Structures are given as structure tokens and as C-alpha cells.
Structure 1
Amino acid sequence: MSQKLKVVTIGGGSSYTPELLEGFIKRYHELPVTELWLVDVEDGKEKLGIIYDLCQRMIDKAGVPLKLYKTLDRREALKDANFVTTQLRVGQLKARELDERIPLSHGYLGQETNGAGGLFKGLRTIPVIFDIIKDVEELCPNAWVINFTNPAGMVTEAVYRHTNFKKFIGVCNIPVGMKMFIHDVLALNENDDLSIDLFGLNHMVFIKDVLVNGTSRFAELLDGVASGQLKASTVKNIFDLPFSEGLIRSLNMLPCSYLLYYFKQKEMLAIEMGEYYKGGARARSGRTKSGRRARSGRTKSGETTLRLVQKS
């Protein structure tokens, strides 16, 4: 590995950036990053400054020789980078609000990766990722691009299908979270060797086996979750709605919590619509960009729907 190790984070004003930096600090002996560049857009300038200041304090406290930079000029940052991470939201939270609320206004899930909102977000994001790839090919052709941007599966597949750039990896923290969950519910200690056998894509992951010190403990885990004796793995941004025992046992696998949007679509939709009626959204805004608000109505079949009405 060369003496200089430069990482560029596009979307550096994200609140996820300090967590990324924390990982670099804790594993500095394994991955001695010498430069970390935080890149954002003009609309994110203020937040970038806040995150930069926090990250600089983290570096100072840790005492690692890591130089931190911030810029709104992506091309300036990318020159001679070794790794590029992407964690961006095109259109920012205003766009996320529409991703969630427009589908709900027609009676469909608005979740930003699994539902129609995920398609909206993907269509906005992929062209921007392609532009980033072009800059990488020109300014740091040997760099690996690691994508955290959702919908990660859609974005990653688009790069592989429609560009010639192959050093691109899409990642998601759902498998990591599930592994941490298993570690806790099985009461393992730090010396135990835990590995999980899973498959799927991004927010559609299933666990099919769990090995602890080389021995499978999956049957114990599956039985505990199915019977309700062990709490299933969840994430904070999804409503805690348990899978049925029959589903878990028939699958003979443990699904990640995002699969609630498929296996319990009606229940999840009802919850999301309930939040919508109250003016809520995951983007934490009760109004659409146009300033309209939601009212409920019913179709001829009696199904509850939403309609957008002009603000009086």
C-alpha cells in the first residue's frame, strides 16, 4: 500500500460521515487513511461545515495523523484518490418527502427503497452516479468506488450494466445489523467466532444459517424468533411489526425487517397511511413541496386512499 491513502466521501455533509470516520479511527492500524475529503453541494454547505467541525474534533481527540478537507468542488477532491464513497441524496430531504408522499397519495407504499419512492430516488440518483464515475475515470482511474446510496442494488446494477467501470461496490449495513442482533440474542462474547450465511440484495436479505465457533445454531435461533421467545432483528426507521410464526417456519430462514413491506404489505401500508393522515412522513415534513396537505377519501371499492388538496 502506498504511503498516501486518500479517501473521498461524496455527500460528506451527511450525518453518517462521523460514523464512517469513527471506523477509520478505530481501524487506523489496518487502514491508515492519511487524507479524508468531504464533498457536498451548495445546498448542503452549512451542514457540511457542521459535520466537518465535528469530524475534526474527533480526529484531534484520537490523535491520528489524518488530514481532513471539505469542498464543494468534486473534481478538486477526486484527484489521485484511492477510494471514493458515495452517500448522497439527490434533491435532499425535500425530494424524499415527495418520494414518500406521492405514492401514498395514490394508496401505494412510499418507502424510499422498497416502494415506488425507491424507483423515484433511483431515477434521480443514477445519472448523478454516472457523472461521478466519469470524473473518477478521468481523475483517479485506479480508485475503488464504494456506494452507500440507496437504492443501493438499483444503483450498483445500473453502473455494471450501463458503464464500463468495474471497480464499484454497493454496500448496505443491514447484514451487519443482523449479525450484531444475532450476537446479542445468542449471548455471545467477543471471543466467539460468529459467521452468517445470507443471501439477497440490499434491503431484501435472508439469513439461512448461523455458525458459532464452526457449529450451526440456526435451528435454535429460528425457533426462538418464530416462537417469540427471541425478538427479531429490526431497524429504527421501520415500524416494529413482527413476522408471523407460520411465515418464519415456512421460509426456514430469517428475513430482514425491510421485507415486512412485502410479506405484510397491507399492514405496513395501513401504518404508513395513518402517519400520513397525521401529516407525518419519514422526511419529517407534514407538507409537500407545493404546500398542499393530505385528506383521506375512499374509492368505489371502499379502500381508503389519499388525495392532495390545495392549501386554503
Structure 2
Amino acid sequence: MTLKKQSIVVAGGGSTFTPGIVMMLLENLDKFPIRSLKFYDNDKERQKQIADATEVIIKERAPEIEFKATTDPEEAFTDVDFVMAHIRVGKYAMREKDEKIPMKYGVIGQETCGPGGIAYGMRSIGGVVEIIDYMEKYSPDAWMLNYSNPAAIVAEATRRLRPDSKIINICDMPVGIELRMAEVLGLESRKEMDVRYYGLNHFGWWTDIRDKEGNDLMPKLIDWVKEHGYITPKELEGASEEEPSWEYTFGKAKEVQWLDPDTLPNTYLKYYFYPQDEAEHSDINYTRANEVMDNREKHVFSECNRISNIKTAEDAKLVADDHASYIVDLARAIAYNTKERMLLIVPNHGAIENFDAEGMVEVPCIVGSQGPEPMTQGSIPRFQKGLMEQQVAVEKLVVDAWITGSYQKLWQALTLSRIVPNARVAKQILDDLIEANEDFWPVLK
């Protein structure tokens, strides 16, 4: 059987994650053949650095693929099958403010959680909706696979603002944790595991993990995580390649797991269970944004510039990212109806029996040409249900605030977040965030 070749546009062509997607696409051409690859970004100079290197890589490794980079929406979105979107409105300069402004008040600043996530969400909604509109105008049969953060707020916004759009919101964090689980278990691939999982984005729990023969893998994993978190055996021996903030995060997972010892948690729950610890552990003068700018961003752009200057990628130090493999699997499932089982962010609609039917939940889905079919997870315990109801209310209030321009709704969202200690602090943070985001947020009244 000959597979139909696909046309893809990467929205956010100047992202540091774009080279990882390109490398993964090129490694999987036998499973997911490509006729055309385009980059789209509103920052021409930033995108050009990634695009120039990509042009060299494609010429050497897959010259049959037509490649172009553009800032013109019509050129970018015309004749495409998939939009792979990972935009960052405000770039890392605004992420740095998201992280540092809350810390002035003793509150952790983080990319997707609490005040930082809310600020980023208020910037992201308009940008993601704009891309959906471009796709539907120029390629109405295309699918948008959205990796833009904060995925929970973006997913709620697209559900309400573009309810009929062919968009699937995804996150690679569970994939990254499952890779670590596989290493702990001595498995070659996370795909050797079948998982049951439920929650919101960055806010969920694994409840069952089995191998392909049906053997229960949870007891061994639980024993490991309650003692070591998601630190792998090799890392315990001193072979870690992770940045310091991620080493701390994977180790902290053990304290998160203690709250419900029969499940395995998403690492991001640490921000909700131990917000004071996170604030105390952080340095207001050097946050995660600074770490990313000093490490991944410098590495990616310097390597891309080197490749474009020497006109060869034979010894390229760019590698396929974990999240890139997830996007490729999802695109394949839709393009070729593979019925892949994947964790996706979808409207609940009964997947979790005793939870808000319109909440955007993260659950296993079977994916084919018609999109995702959520798998039912039954009823969930009161502990998780209570936490999720509070957090989904935060996400809905943020979208309310964006749609209506309501200061009050956004203040309520910040106050309701478990990360913020009280309404007074919520207001202080909000007022500072409004000032910092005057070029990005709708006007709030």
C-alpha cells in the first residue's frame, strides 16, 4: 500500500522546538511521507535562522520535499493537510515576566500553572484562534495539532470560540514521564505499555499501566516513585543530562505521589500541592525562562546558524524531540486511520462520569481519520474530583475574562488558583501583569 504524501505547515517556525519536529519528520518518512513542509512565523528574522538550517538539512536528507518559510498566511496555510502549531506569543521575554512578577509576592511563577500560566493563556488565546482561522480559510479540510501552551486554557478557549474546528490539543509531558517509566521497568519503549490516565492538562494521574501481555506494572513503578520520584536508575548513578530545574522536578514527584499512593502523578501537580516549596526553591533573578534562554535557545540557534554557514548538516547536533514523536504519531493516526491509542485533551462528554461534561480533560483516546474517540475512565475519587473542579473553574474564568474583557473574572481566576494564597495577593499580581501585558491582552474593565 502506497501512503499518501502529506503537506505540513509548522506554525511557530522560529520556535526552538521546530528543529526537533523536522528531525522527527525526516526520521519517519517511511511511515509518514511528506510532499511539502512550510514554516510560518510573524518574526521573520527569528524564523530565518531555523529555516536556513532546515533548508540545508532537507536538501541533504530528503530533497524531494518542497520547503519554504514565510510570514504570509495565505502562502503558509494554502494546500496543507496538517498545521503543527507551537506558538509563543511574547516569546521568552514575556515568559520571564510571567515567572518573576508573581515571585515579587512570594508566589511561584510558572509557564502553565498559576499566575504565570494565566498570563500566558491570556496572550495565547488570540494567537491560536488566528491560526485556526487562517487554516480554515485557506485549507478547510486540514487538521491543526496544537502544542501551544498553556494547553488547558487554550483548549478551553478553542472549545468555546471555535467549537467546530478540526483542532486537537496535545501535551508531551505524559510522554516524557512514560519514557522514564519505561526506563525504570527496563522496557525499550513506552509503547510497550498500555496506560489508563485521567485529569486536566498538567494535572493528572496514571491509574493503571500494563504490558502487552496484560501484566500489571503499577506495583513496581509505585515502589520506585515513592522513593525516587521519576529520577531514573542511570540518573541515580550520576548520569543525568537534565537541566537542574528538571532534575528537581522529577525528584519532587515522590512527594506528590504520597498524596495518593495508589496512583502515579503528573509532575506539574507539585505546583498545586507544594506551592510554597516551589517559591522558596526558585531564584527570582534566574528563573526557568533564563535557564531556557541560556541553554536550549542558545544551543538551537547557534547550531542552526553553524549549519547554514557551512552548508552541510552531516554532523548536525539537532535531534528529534520527545514531543515531536508524539505529533508525528498523531498525524499518522489521522492521515492513515491507524487507530493509535494516545493521551489527548478533549471535551469530557462522559469520559469521566462524575465530572463537568464540558471540561477539557486529558484521557486516553483512540485516534483515526475522524479524530479522537475518548475512552471512558469511570468515576474518579473525591480527592482528584475536588482538585480538578477547582482547577477547571480557574481555566473557564480565564477564558470568560478574555472573551468579555472582565477584570473581575480574571481576579477571580487568580484567587481560585491553589498557587495564590489570597485575593489581596491575587489583585496585586494581576495589576502588575496587566501593566506588563498591555501590548498583548485585551483591555480589562
* Category of TM-score, reference length = shorter chain: 0.7 to 0.9
Aligned partners of 1:174 and 1:202 also within 8 Å: no
Which residue, out of 288, 297, 302, partners 1:282?
Answer: 288
1:106-139 deviation line (CA, Å, top 9, x unaligned)? 2222101012011111111101212222222211
Residue 249 to residue 262, structure 1, CA distance change in 2 (3 Å): closer
Q: Please report how far the alpha carbon of residue 229 of structure 1 lies from its aligned counterpart in structure 2 after TM superposition.
A: 8.8
Partners in 1 of 2:130 and 2:26 — Cα distance?
A: 30
Unmatched runs of 5 consecutive residues or more in structure 1: 286-304
Aligned partners of 2:225 and 2:254 also within 8 Å: no
Asked if 1:38 corresponds to 2:39, the answer is yes
1:185-233 deviation line (CA, Å, top 9, x unaligned)? 1112359832222222221132112112321110111012213397379
**Alignment partner of 2:128: what SS?**
helix
Query: Which residue of structure 2 aligns with residue 209 of structure 1?
Result: 208
Query: Which residue of structure 2 aligns with residue 225 of structure 1?
Result: 225
Q: Please report how far the alpha carbon of residue 2 of structure 1 lies from its aligned counterpart in structure 2 after TM superposition.
A: 8.4
Aligned residues: 283
Residue 60 to residue 76, structure 1, CA distance change in 2 (3 Å): closer
1:163-188 deviation line (CA, Å, top 9, x unaligned)? 24331101111111112111111112
Residue 31 to residue 110, structure 1, CA distance change in 2 (3 Å): same
Residue 72 to residue 186, structure 1, CA distance change in 2 (3 Å): same
Aligned partners of 1:179 and 1:196 also within 8 Å: no
Partners in 2 of 1:85 and 1:63 — Cα distance?
A: 20
Query: Which residue of structure 2 aligns with residue 18 of structure 1?
Result: 19
Aligned partners of 1:113 and 1:150 also within 8 Å: yes
Aligned partners of 1:198 and 1:207 also within 8 Å: yes
Calculate the TM-score normalised by the size of structure 1: 0.82
Q: Please report how far the alpha carbon of residue 4 of structure 1 lies from its aligned counterpart in structure 2 after TM superposition.
A: 5.0
Partners in 2 of 1:162 and 1:191 — Cα distance?
A: 35
Aligned partners of 1:83 and 1:144 also within 8 Å: yes
Query: Which residue of structure 2 aligns with residue 271 of structure 1?
Result: 281
Query: Which residue of structure 1 aligns with residue 59 of structure 2?
Result: 60
Query: Which residue of structure 2 aligns with residue 109 of structure 1?
Result: 108
Aligned partners of 2:99 and 2:111 also within 8 Å: yes
Residue 248 to residue 284, structure 1, CA distance change in 2 (3 Å): same
Partners in 1 of 2:78 and 2:259 — Cα distance?
A: 52
Q: Please report how far the alpha carbon of residue 49 of structure 1 lies from its aligned counterpart in structure 2 after TM superposition.
A: 1.4
The RMSD of aligned alpha carbons is: 2.9
Unmatched runs of 5 consecutive residues or more in structure 2: 236-241, 292-427, 433-445
**Alignment partner of 1:7: what SS?**
strand
Q: Please report how far the alpha carbon of residue 27 of structure 1 lies from its aligned counterpart in structure 2 after TM superposition.
A: 1.5
Aligned partners of 1:11 and 1:86 also within 8 Å: yes
Partners in 2 of 1:246 and 1:77 — Cα distance?
A: 43
Q: Please report how far the alpha carbon of residue 46 of structure 1 lies from its aligned counterpart in structure 2 after TM superposition.
A: 2.4
Aligned partners of 1:25 and 1:64 also within 8 Å: no
**Alignment partner of 1:137: what SS?**
helix
1:150-172 deviation line (CA, Å, top 9, x unaligned)? 00111012111122433110111
Query: Which residue of structure 2 aligns with residue 261 of structure 1?
Result: 271
Partners in 2 of 1:162 and 1:227 — Cα distance?
A: 44
Identity %: 30
Residue 64 to residue 177, structure 1, CA distance change in 2 (3 Å): farther
Partners in 2 of 1:222 and 1:82 — Cα distance?
A: 41
Going by fraction, where is helix more abundant, 1 or 2? 2
Partners in 2 of 1:232 and 1:281 — Cα distance?
A: 25
Q: What is the 5 A alignment of 1:1-312?
A: 3-41=4-42, 44-63=43-62, 65-189=64-188, 193-213=192-212, 214-228=214-228, 231=231, 236=243, 237-238=245-246, 239-240=248-249, 241-244=251-254, 247-248=257-258, 250-272=260-282, 275-276=283-284, 279-284=285-290
Aligned partners of 2:100 and 2:109 also within 8 Å: yes
**Alignment partner of 1:68: what SS?**
strand
Q: Please report how far the alpha carbon of residue 68 of structure 1 lies from its aligned counterpart in structure 2 after TM superposition.
A: 1.5
Letter in 1 for 2:220: E
**Alignment partner of 2:289: what SS?**
coil
Query: Which residue of structure 2 aligns with residue 295 of structure 1?
Result: none
**Alignment partner of 2:260: what SS?**
helix
**Alignment partner of 1:284: what SS?**
helix
Letter in 2 for 1:284: N
Partners in 1 of 2:229 and 2:275 — Cα distance?
A: 24
Aligned partners of 2:74 and 2:134 also within 8 Å: yes
Aligned partners of 2:8 and 2:82 also within 8 Å: yes
Residue 126 to residue 267, structure 1, CA distance change in 2 (3 Å): same
Residue 51 to residue 251, structure 1, CA distance change in 2 (3 Å): same
Aligned partners of 1:248 and 1:254 also within 8 Å: no
Query: Which residue of structure 1 aligns with residue 312 of structure 2?
Result: none
Q: Please report how far the alpha carbon of residue 247 of structure 1 lies from its aligned counterpart in structure 2 after TM superposition.
A: 4.5
Letter in 2 for 1:22: M
Partners in 2 of 1:190 and 1:107 — Cα distance?
A: 41
**Alignment partner of 2:252: what SS?**
coil
**Alignment partner of 2:76: what SS?**
helix
Q: Which has the higher contact order (CA 8 A, sep 6+)?
A: 2
Aligned partners of 2:256 and 2:269 also within 8 Å: no
